[in-house]
Amino acid sequence: MATIYEVSKLAGVSLATVSRAMNDRSRVSEKTLAKVMAAMEQLNYRPNSIAQSLAANRSNSVGVLVSEIHGPIFGAMLSGIDAELRASGKFTLFATGHSDREKEREGIRFLTSRNCDALILHIEALTDEYLLEHRDESTPFVVINREIAGMENKCVSLDNELGGYEATRYLLQLGHRDIAYISGPMSWGDAAARWAGHKRALESFGVQFDAGLMVEGDYHERGGAKGTTRLLENGQPFTAIVCANDEMAAGAMDAIRAKGLSIPDDISVVGFDNAPLSRYLYPKLTTIDHPATNMGRMAAKWVLHNVYGIEADIQRMFAPTLIERASTAPPSK
């Protein structure tokens, strides 16, 4: 493999000039630039990116830590990150945190040990406090899909409260008044926010909140099914149910059908995330779209802007939108 040294010799210039020709063309005369380019071409020269990193003390790579890559939205997220980063010639280093506190910490260490210039973190187990403590450490990071008080400027997140609001508002507008709700684990920020949005929607329509129509779920299909069964057997009637994510909605649908009820004639169902699966449920699920790809892009842009000084408009907060499909209808009577 040709090195910069050979190029400089062939072009009849110094090392420094070749380096400048690559990194800062403005500081090289046109004639020289042409000579250098020709020499590079002739030798099929490819700069050694590792050597560049060492000399420049910048690795041009950013680490991405994702909780579970096979989850419904991480693929989309990673895809957005990759697109944006690659367009600027930055490498994406990938690692998984498995929603486990120790593994997430270890993942960060691992990525950091490769001298990443920045980190994009999609993590669930590490506490806000931990992140706040490390906010000023040498490797800068953005947190994606999570809102941390005290470091909002390092967060790219979804307006979950608004999403929760929109989901319920849609049902209210259809005419529903008895609306059940299955939340995510309430200790998670997004679950709490979605739930808060639900209550705000009820309030704004003057509907009294009924504690008997709410169950705390776990964001999994099983939890959705169990919660729905419980609500159904409670005796408290309802004509619609909002689930704090699509997987629980899938479970809810099964549970509803298992009771011999039909969707949406007897009960309307709304999910959250617009995960791929939501399009395949029967009937297709009305849900709240999670702009994961765009959020991924934005996290990448944040890094490009804040770490590499590349011009970019940063949008921290994303507004989710309702996707109307077939699992909802006006209440039957």
Partner DNA sequence: TTGTATGATGTAAGCGCTTACATTTTTCTC
Partner DNA sequence: GAGAAAAATGTAAGCGCTTACATCATACAA
The contact set with its own copies (CB under 8 A) reads 1, 46-51, 53-54, 59, 61, 64, 68-72, 74-76, 78-79, 82-83, 86, 91-96, 110, 113-115, 138, 250, 253, 276-277, 280-282, 293
Of the pair 46, 279, the CB lying nearest DNA is at 46
Residue 70, contacted partner among DNA, its own copies, none, CB below 5-8 A by kind: its own copies
Of the pair 55, 319, the CB lying nearest DNA is at 55
SS3 141: strand
From the CB of 114, what's the least distance to its own copies, in Å?
A: 5
Residue 76, contacted partner among DNA, its own copies, none, CB below 5-8 A by kind: its own copies
Residue 26, contacted partner among its own copies, DNA, none, CB below 5-8 A by kind: DNA
From the CB of 8, what's the least distance to DNA, in Å?
A: 7
**β-strands 287-289, 321-323: how paired?**
antiparallel
From the CB of 254, what's the least distance to its own copies, in Å?
A: 9
Q: Which residues bind DNA (CB under 7 A)?
A: 1, 3-5, 12-17, 19-20, 22-23, 26-29, 31-33, 45-48, 51-52, 54-57
Q: How far apart are CA 231 and CA 272, in angstroms?
A: 19
Residue 185, contacted partner among DNA, its own copies, none, CB below 5-8 A by kind: none
Gyration radius (Cα) of the chain, Å: 26
Of the pair 113, 187, the CB lying nearest its own copies is at 113
Give the full edge-to-edge strand order of the sheet including 268-270. Answer: 214-216, 179-183, 240-243, 268-270
Of the pair 48, 79, the CB lying nearest DNA is at 48
Residue 32, contacted partner among DNA, its own copies, none, CB below 5-8 A by kind: DNA
SS3 120: strand
From the CB of 27, what's the least distance to its own copies, in Å?
A: 23
Give 272's DSSP letter: S
Residue 16, contacted partner among DNA, its own copies, none, CB below 5-8 A by kind: DNA
**β-strands 141-144, 118-121: how paired?**
parallel
Give 65's DSSP letter: E
CA atoms within 13 A on the CB side of 47: 16
Are 118 and 307 in contact by the 8 Å Cβ rule? The answer is yes
Are 48 and 1 in contact by the 8 Å Cβ rule? The answer is yes
Are 317 and 154 in contact by the 8 Å Cβ rule? The answer is no
